[in-house]
A and B are shown apart, each in its own frame.
Chain A
Amino acid sequence: MTMTQSSAAPLLQVSDLAVSFRKDGQWRNVVRDMNFSVTAGETLAIVGESGSGKSVTSMAVMQLLPRVSTRITGKVLFQDRDLLALGEPEMEAVRGNRISMIFQEPMTSLNPVMTIGAQIAEAIRVHRPVSKAEARALALEMMDRVHIPAARSRYDDFPHQFSGGMRQRVMIAAALACKPDLLIADEPTTALDVTIQAQVLDLIKELQADTGMGVIFITHDMGVVAEVADRTLVMYNGDVIESGTTAQIFATPQKTYTRALLSAVPKLGTMGGTPHPLPYPVFDMQTGTMTELPLRGDTLQSDAKPLLEVTGLSKRFEVKSKILKRVVARVHAVEQVGLMLRRGETLSIVGESGCGKSTTGRLLTGLYPSDSGRILLDGRELGKIPANERARDIQMIFQDPYASLNPRLRVGEAITEPLRIHKLVPRKDEAEIAERLLERVGLQAQMADRYPHEFSGGQRQRICVARALVMKPKVIVADEAVSALDVTMKTQVINLMMDLQQEMGLGFVFISHDMAVVERISHKVAVMYLGEVVEMGPRAAIFSNPTHPYTRRLLSAVPVPDPARRGQRSAPPILELRSPLRTSDYRHPVRRYLEVSQGHFVQEPGPEWT
């Protein structure tokens, strides 16, 4: 992309924008001194972590913030008009017409009781004097343009009948129906699977090329920034701390925070030469120094006997008919999965939503009973281990740090709860154990008396790690344990997990959809698709030589945080929706696995891949 466009008159010129919210009678400044502009055909990325003010900025431009409790100052010039001076009716004529916006949550951003066609047509009807029939025709045209298959027959469907990716397409169709000059996209792909994300990004780029609109892209994901943006604005705590062309920002970041953000960005394929997992560099936000951690010895004890040995593991959920309760179909959530984990090893299970990776994690810990297959935990059959002993062998860390701590327990009590259940230590010693563990996971001992709601997401996840450790387990299953965290938090928790592995020889089963994190921390990777492991092997082999078509698809969809390579990645084509829901008489085909190289197994692709 060339930079010549910056000489053209800007479409949107924001100067000295500041936003304050009133809460409990106090005005709190959340965005300060925003200055930026967007020209036609250009994409500007606004990057930052949660609470940085990036979404507030876009909402302020659109005047979507509640007028009574918000104070906005500065100027927002759009086509020579100051939007901040417009009243609500004039602003309504701009929204959806000249400036459109799409949002993060496709699942909740559409009206559940209106057909999707009506929701697209509505955007046309409020701005253009067209008849109902004309609006319908235009809406159908938009559905075609955003590549919704069989648009005509799906016009009268309701949002719940669409997948997340398709809903986001509906959102885009409604947003672009009036051919706006500017599109504001607020984390439009964050809630989507990586292959769907790639498709949606491509769609936005395609439509931008067609119409020449300007795009403001709000995201926390540096990979996406590199993929889409001409220029980038970095926000931290309500301030713009750095701005420039995307190439500049990536090549020569000036501010510590930007560098921290970039260093934390998982770069796929950077691990090629490193033999084993590598902690993230440590950043000191005060001094701005970055310390690469020294390469450590490998934690993997390959000669020890396996901690976890899984063969032929299957789990099906039955779908019963409403009245007679007959089994009409089954969800083959996990199908014939075999895995092996040794001491000090990290095995990652990757895949997109619905692939069965979380179910597998729950089967491994015994939270779900398996339908068939064998799980040997440290040489003993999982189902036959008494609950109290199993708790000392295997523990779990969950995705949502807000749901995984009992809100009624002080964190100290939460950490030592397992000891109390099994009466392992005298009551008086519990406090000391909790304090020691809190310090071990990087928190302070005196925090033991606080309740979970007083902690941030990252701190809670540390507490969960401490709770998992109190029984000194051999295996920890981490189910998307860092996915809900901001980038900087994410790297800290991952480093903590690696330290603990070093120290205690833990085996980790790391369940994740984030390929870049997986590359950093894994010894071994298993790729799951529709309940089956389609490819498994040493980390280096999977990433350098992906062999199964699905693995290739998955890896090629991951955004590359390198602006120089922008546009080289192309999204995989839209596949027809596949689901592991099968009829009740379905017999699973016998799969064959080929050993590509030592320890690298690939499922022979079925006919659907050819």
Chain B
Amino acid sequence: MGWFLRRIAQSIVMLWVVISLVFLSIHFVPGDPVELLLAQDGATPDPAMVEVVRGQLGLDRPLHEQYVKKLGDLLRFDLGKSIVDESSVGKEVARRLPRTLELIAAAGLLSLLIGLPAGVLAALRPASLFSRMANLASGTAQSIPVFVIGTLFVITFAQLLGWLPAGGFVAFERDPAKHLLLLIMPATTIAVGLSAIVFRITRASMLDVLPLDFIRTARAKGVPRRRVILQHALRNALMPVITVFALQLGGLLAGTVLVETVFNWPGLSGMLVSGVNARDYPVVTGVIVVVAAFYIGLNLLVDILYGLTDPRVRK
């Protein structure tokens, strides 16, 4: 139990450090950050405008006051307002985040369904044709950048074959069938690379576990092969898979940006990309804080899961 609480405390401290760093990041910029943000194509921005934005960002107050206010705002889930159109960043994130999460969940599920069994099978017969083909396929899949895969998918399945819509989004409540149809390509695009990773880690981890002494013990006890593989080998082999998978999912919170752009999926990315292009600082930092919080939460979850599967961790 102590282990559990300590791990939660660590995560909270980490989140606080991350938030503080993001808050401070604007002050790392040489010169006046506001002027820099508003500088378009090297032209000096209007001084009146600079003052307005400075007020909006609260940069006219002393640093510690800004900091305390920022932390207070965040505790109330207030992520600030966009410089460009003064819309609430928090509201926009709340609207878009579920869509991104849905995409990630679908892709994650798909990659586990493909990667895990394939990895186990390949480890059991490392010299088989299947194993070698799967290795080659995963190596290739991992090497093609996700936006290339997405682009090729659009071209093949939408433009050439016309089987699926090229992209877009319809709310589930409005048209569930259309919603799922639109989900297929972006989710599969992400799953290509992700399942390749799951496959590789599962295979490697199983290959590490299978020659261990306790597997031999289980076999010497007369435990049936199936049970040796699932109960003894896979349970031990799963831990690295969980870790890598969770890290990948966390990375995807940002990694979906590319896929969402390719398929016009209105998740966090649209907000982020336009925010970066317009140098809309509150929008970008808002999204980053949310993503980092999710990332930290996910890591916490993995560690807890780890502790539940492996008793040696809980010390």
**List of 10 A-B pairs having minimum Cβ-Cβ separation, nearest first:** A96-B222, A96-B221, A95-B222, A158-B311, A108-B213, A101-B220, A109-B213, A123-B221, A111-B214, A109-B217
Q: Who on chain A is nearest to B224 by CB? A: A92
A322 contact set on B, CB distance < 8 A? 2, 6
Whether B225 sits at the interface, judged by CB under 8 Å, is yes
Contact indicator per residue, chain A 62-103, by CB within 8 Å of chain B (1) or not (0): 101000000000000000000000001100111111001101
Q: How many pairs of A and B residues are in contact by the CB < 8 Å rule?
A: 82
Q: Are B222 and A112 in contact (CB under 8 A)?
A: no
Nearest-neighbour CB distance to chain A for B289, whole angstroms, equals 26
Q: Are A111 and B232 in contact (CB under 8 A)?
A: yes
Known: A93-B222, A111-B236. 12 other contacts (CB 8 A): A94-B222, A95-B222, A111-B217, A111-B232, A112-B214, A112-B236, A112-B310, A114-B235, A126-B223, A174-B217, A322-B2, A323-B6
Whether B218 sits at the interface, judged by CB under 8 Å, is yes
Q: Who on chain A is nearest to B233 by CB? A: A111
Nearest-neighbour CB distance to chain B for A121, whole angstroms, equals 11
Nearest-neighbour CB distance to chain A for B209, whole angstroms, equals 10
A108 contact set on B, CB distance < 8 A? 212-214
Contact of B216 among A89, A93, A109 (CB under 8 A): A109
Contact indicator per residue, chain B 9-32, by CB within 8 Å of chain A (1) or not (0): 100000000000000000000000
Contact of A95 among B9, B220, B312 (CB under 8 A): B220
Nearest-neighbour CB distance to chain A for B77, whole angstroms, equals 29
In the bound complex, CA of A89 to CA of B225 (Å): 9
In the bound complex, CA of A583 to CA of B219 (Å): 43
Contact of A64 among B2, B216, B225 (CB under 8 A): B216
Q: Are A96 and B223 in contact (CB under 8 A)?
A: yes
Most buried by A among B214, B221, B236: B221
Nearest-neighbour CB distance to chain A for B154, whole angstroms, equals 44
Contacts A108-B213, A110-B214, A112-B214; is A97 near B220 (CB within 8 Å)? no
Nearest-neighbour CB distance to chain A for B262, whole angstroms, equals 41
In the bound complex, CA of A95 to CA of B214 (Å): 15
Whether A33 sits at the interface, judged by CB under 8 Å, is no
Q: Who on chain B is nearest to A177 by CB? A: B221
Contacts A108-B213, A113-B235, A160-B312; is A88 near B223 (CB within 8 Å)? no
In the bound complex, CA of A220 to CA of B254 (Å): 59
Nearest-neighbour CB distance to chain A for B281, whole angstroms, equals 36
Q: Which of A104-137 contact B (CB under 8 A)?
A: 105, 108-114, 122-123, 126-127
Whether B227 sits at the interface, judged by CB under 8 Å, is yes
Contacts A94-B222, A322-B6; is A171 near B217 (CB within 8 Å)? yes
Contacts A88-B225, A160-B312; is A111 near B218 (CB within 8 Å)? yes
Q: Are A105 and B6 in contact (CB under 8 A)?
A: no
In the bound complex, CA of A123 to CA of B9 (Å): 41
Q: Are A103 and B216 in contact (CB under 8 A)?
A: yes
Q: Who on chain B is nearest to A180 by CB? A: B222
Contact of B236 among A105, A113, A160, A171 (CB under 8 A): A113
Contact of A122 among B213, B216, B223 (CB under 8 A): B223
Whether A175 sits at the interface, judged by CB under 8 Å, is yes
Q: Who on chain A is nearest to B215 by CB? A: A111
Q: Who on chain B is nearest to A123 by CB? A: B221
Q: Which residues of A contact B (CB under 8 A)?
A: 62, 64, 88-89, 92-97, 100-101, 103, 105, 108-114, 122-123, 126-127, 158, 160, 171, 174-175, 322-323
A158 contact set on B, CB distance < 8 A? 311-312
Most buried by A among B212, B214, B222, B224: B222
Q: Are B310 and A92 in contact (CB under 8 A)?
A: no
Whether B156 sits at the interface, judged by CB under 8 Å, is no
Q: Which of B173-225 contact A (CB under 8 A)?
A: 212-214, 216-225
In the bound complex, CA of A112 to CA of B313 (Å): 11
A100 contact set on B, CB distance < 8 A? 220-221
Q: Which residues of B contact A (CB under 8 A)?
A: 2, 6, 9, 212-214, 216-225, 227, 231-232, 235-236, 309-312
Q: Are B310 and A113 in contact (CB under 8 A)?
A: yes
In the bound complex, CA of A323 to CA of B8 (Å): 13
Nearest-neighbour CB distance to chain A for B315, whole angstroms, equals 9
Q: Who on chain A is nearest to B225 by CB? A: A88
Contact of B221 among A88, A105, A113, A126 (CB under 8 A): A126
Q: Are A103 and B223 in contact (CB under 8 A)?
A: no
Contacts A112-B236, A160-B312, A322-B6; is A105 near B213 (CB within 8 Å)? yes
Contact of A92 among B6, B217, B225 (CB under 8 A): B225
Q: Are A64 and B220 in contact (CB under 8 A)?
A: yes
Contacts A126-B227, A160-B311, A322-B6; is A110 near B221 (CB within 8 Å)? no
A103 contact set on B, CB distance < 8 A? 213, 216-217, 220
Q: Who on chain A is nearest to B238 by CB? A: A113
Nearest-neighbour CB distance to chain B for A180, whole angstroms, equals 10
A109 contact set on B, CB distance < 8 A? 213-214, 216-217
A-B contact pairs, 16 of them (CB 8 A): A93-B222, A94-B222, A95-B220, A96-B223, A100-B220, A101-B220, A109-B216, A110-B214, A112-B311, A113-B309, A122-B221, A126-B227, A127-B222, A174-B221, A175-B220, A175-B221
Nearest-neighbour CB distance to chain A for B169, whole angstroms, equals 42
Nearest-neighbour CB distance to chain B for A110, whole angstroms, equals 6
Q: Are B212 and A96 in contact (CB under 8 A)?
A: no
Nearest-neighbour CB distance to chain B for A230, whole angstroms, equals 24
In the bound complex, CA of A478 to CA of B91 (Å): 70
Q: Who on chain A is nearest to B219 by CB? A: A64
In the bound complex, CA of A160 to CA of B223 (Å): 22
B223 contact set on A, CB distance < 8 A? 92, 96, 122-123, 126
Q: Are A123 and B222 in contact (CB under 8 A)?
A: yes
B227 contact set on A, CB distance < 8 A? 126
A89 contact set on B, CB distance < 8 A? 224
In the bound complex, CA of A92 to CA of B225 (Å): 8
A114 contact set on B, CB distance < 8 A? 231-232, 235
A101 contact set on B, CB distance < 8 A? 220
Q: Who on chain B is nearest to A93 by CB? A: B222
Q: Who on chain B is nearest to A156 by CB? A: B311
In the bound complex, CA of A114 to CA of B312 (Å): 11
Q: Who on chain B is nearest to A89 by CB? A: B224
Q: Who on chain A is nearest to B315 by CB? A: A160
Q: Who on chain A is nearest to B310 by CB? A: A113
A64 contact set on B, CB distance < 8 A? 216, 219-220
Contacts A112-B214, A113-B236, A126-B227; is A96 near B220 (CB within 8 Å)? yes
Q: Are B222 and A126 in contact (CB under 8 A)?
A: yes
Q: Are A110 and B312 in contact (CB under 8 A)?
A: no
Nearest-neighbour CB distance to chain B for A232, whole angstroms, equals 24
Most buried by B among A94, A126, A127: A126
Nearest-neighbour CB distance to chain B for A525, whole angstroms, equals 35
In the bound complex, CA of A452 to CA of B310 (Å): 37
Q: Who on chain B is nearest to A321 by CB? A: B2
B309 contact set on A, CB distance < 8 A? 113
B232 contact set on A, CB distance < 8 A? 111, 114
In the bound complex, CA of A112 to CA of B238 (Å): 13
A123 contact set on B, CB distance < 8 A? 221-223
Q: Who on chain A is nearest to B311 by CB? A: A158
Nearest-neighbour CB distance to chain A for B214, whole angstroms, equals 4
